[in-house]
């Protein structure tokens, strides 16, 4: 009966159970807009929460309910599945271009996400705004969120003022690269969107162009803001990607990954193997502690599996690209 209640609640072919201020919810929304799919976004309720979390095997959001009444979590494999349903609007293209999109998406999913957490919980106005909005105006629940936020920052390595400044500087460099790229092309890798556009839009729509403090930063990049608020959603399904990796944005991100994402993900892998609860690495000239987490390793292995699915010639192209940017170790 509970499953029937979920199914009957569908007002569209797909239902996203998530939140307006959730990075990965907004990433999935961006993807479904690009696919041209019919969907609605709903919050979990006390009536359906247990059913959704049991069937999706996670308490996290988003969870996607499909027309078959499947409940599935984890946005990257979800996009790979949806590519098969919308082949003319795929967000992971064939061959090395798809691997490039996956690699850049991985960086934003597993590394740049910490910047969103920092901006939201280390600035009082943003923390108050977000906690009250996520708590639907309930002050008691908002206070619990305000207590949770700094712990999330510690776990993701932005506790110290030095790391906070470095994270913000890193994001500003990304915004500058986006601003330049979006003056030249409709999307970040050319004239059609890929998975990297989805995660970048998710960050802008849920965090940095939503929360009051980072919004002051993104306001300096009018092309990015126009793209996030209007232009990106007007894609008609046409267009080609730039040659690999001629997108200036792609080159910028690959250049950043070797000294940030790569040491982080490799140290997390080693800590998992050793059974350690936390690990330390040097990032931006400072020894930083991170919580050991299984998911970044799972996500890294998705990229490795993607590489292994390519033809031998395509793998050679990818290896040359990763070698050029000193990233081979991350995806060995």
* Per-residue pLDDT, 6: 57
Q: Are residues 116 and 76 in the same domain?
A: no
Q: Rounded CA gap, 14 and 38, in Å?
A: 6
pLDDT at 1: 30
Residue 3 covered by a domain: no
pLDDT greater than 80 at residue 236: yes
What CATH number corresponds to the domain at position 45? 3.40.30.10
* 2 found inside a domain: no
303 and 282 in a common domain:
yes
* Whether the model pTM is above 0.85: yes
- Whether 83 and 202 map to the same domain: the answer is no
DSSP string, 206-274: IIITTSHHHHHHHTT-HHHHHHHHTGGGG--S---BPSTT--HHHHHHHHHHTTTHHHHHHHHHHHHHH
Q: In total, how many domains does the chain have?
A: 2
* Helix axis angle, 312-324 to 95-107, nearest 10°: 40
Where among 89, 119, 151 does a domain terminate? 89
Domain limit, last residue, from 89, 111, 129: 89
The whole-angstrom separation of Cα 92 and Cα 111 is: 20
Q: Are residues 134 and 61 in the same domain?
A: no
Ramachandran assignment for 9, one of left (phi > 0), alpha (psi -120 to 50 degrees), beta (any other): alpha
Share of residues in the chain with pLDDT > 90 (%): 94
Per-residue pLDDT tens digits for 256-299: 999 999 999 999 999 999 999 999 999 999 999 999 999 999 99
pLDDT at 260 (0 to 100) = 97
Answer yes or no: is 1 within a domain.
no
Same domain, 286 and 230: yes
Whether residue 193 is found in the same domain as residue 307: yes
Please state, in angstroms and rounded to a whole number, the distance separating the CA atoms of residues 179 and 75. Answer: 25
Residue 316 has pLDDT above 80, yes or no: yes
Same domain, 81 and 140: no
Residue 94 has a CB neighbour count (10 Å cut-off) of 11
Q: Answer yes or no: do 100 and 227 share one domain.
A: yes
Strand partners, 73: 63
Where residue 243 falls among pLDDT bands split at 50, 70, 90? Answer: confident
Tell me the per-residue pLDDT of 148-187, one tens digit each, with 9 for 90 and over.
999 999 999 999 999 999 999 999 999 999 999 999 999 9
The answer, yes or no, to whether residue 7 has pLDDT greater than 80, is no
The verdict on 75 and 208 lying in the same domain is: no
Res 2 pLDDT > 80: no
For 94, residues 6+ apart whose C-beta sits below 8 A from its C-beta are none
Pick from 69, 89, 109: which residue ends a domain? 89
Residues 41, 143 within the same domain: no
**Containing structural domain, residue 303:** 95-331
Instruction: Examine the domain organization and report whether 74 and 108 are in the same domain.
Output: no
Q: Are residues 137 and 249 in the same domain?
A: yes
């Amino acid at each position: 009966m509970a499953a029937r209640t979920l199914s009957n609640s569908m007002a569209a072919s797909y239902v996203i159970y998530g939140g307006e201020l959730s990075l990965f919810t907004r990433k999935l929304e961006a993807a479904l807009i690009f696919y041209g799919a019919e969907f609605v976004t709903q919050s979990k309720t006390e009536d359906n929460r247990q059913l959704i979390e049991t069937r999706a095997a996670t308490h996290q959001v988003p969870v996607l309910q499909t027309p078959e009444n499947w409940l599935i979590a984890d946005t990257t494999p979800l996009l790979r599945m949806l590519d098969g349903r919308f082949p003319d609007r795929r967000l992971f293209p064939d061959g090395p271009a798809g691997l490039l999109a996956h690699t850049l998406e991985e960086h934003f999913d597993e590394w740049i996400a910490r910047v969103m957490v920092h901006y939201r919980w280390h600035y009082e106005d943003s923390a108050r705004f977000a906690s009250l909005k996520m708590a639907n105006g309930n002050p008691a629940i908002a206070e619990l969120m305000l207590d949770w936020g700094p712990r999330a920052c510690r776990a993701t390595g932005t506790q110290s003022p030095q790391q906070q400044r470095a994270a913000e500087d890193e994001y500003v460099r990304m915004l500058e690269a986006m601003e330049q790229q979006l003056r030249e092309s409709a999307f970040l890798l050319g004239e059609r969107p890929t998975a990297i556009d989805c995660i970048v839009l998710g960050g802008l729509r849920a965090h940095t162009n939503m929360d009051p403090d980072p919004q002051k930063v993104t306001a300096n990049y009018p092309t990015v803001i126009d793209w996030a608020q209007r232009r990106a959603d007007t894609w008609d399904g046409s267009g080609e990607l730039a040659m690999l990796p001629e997108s200036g944005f792609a080159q910028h991100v690959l250049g950043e990954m070797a000294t940030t994402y790569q040491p982080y993900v490799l140290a997390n892998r080693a800590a998992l193997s050793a059974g350690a609860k936390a690990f330390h690495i040097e990032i931006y000239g400072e020894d930083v502690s991170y919580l050991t987490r299984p998911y970044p390793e799972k996500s890294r292995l998705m990229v490795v599996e993607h590489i292994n699915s390519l033809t031998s010639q395509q793998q050679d192209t990818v290896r040359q690209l990763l070698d050029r940017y000193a990233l081979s170790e991350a995806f060995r």
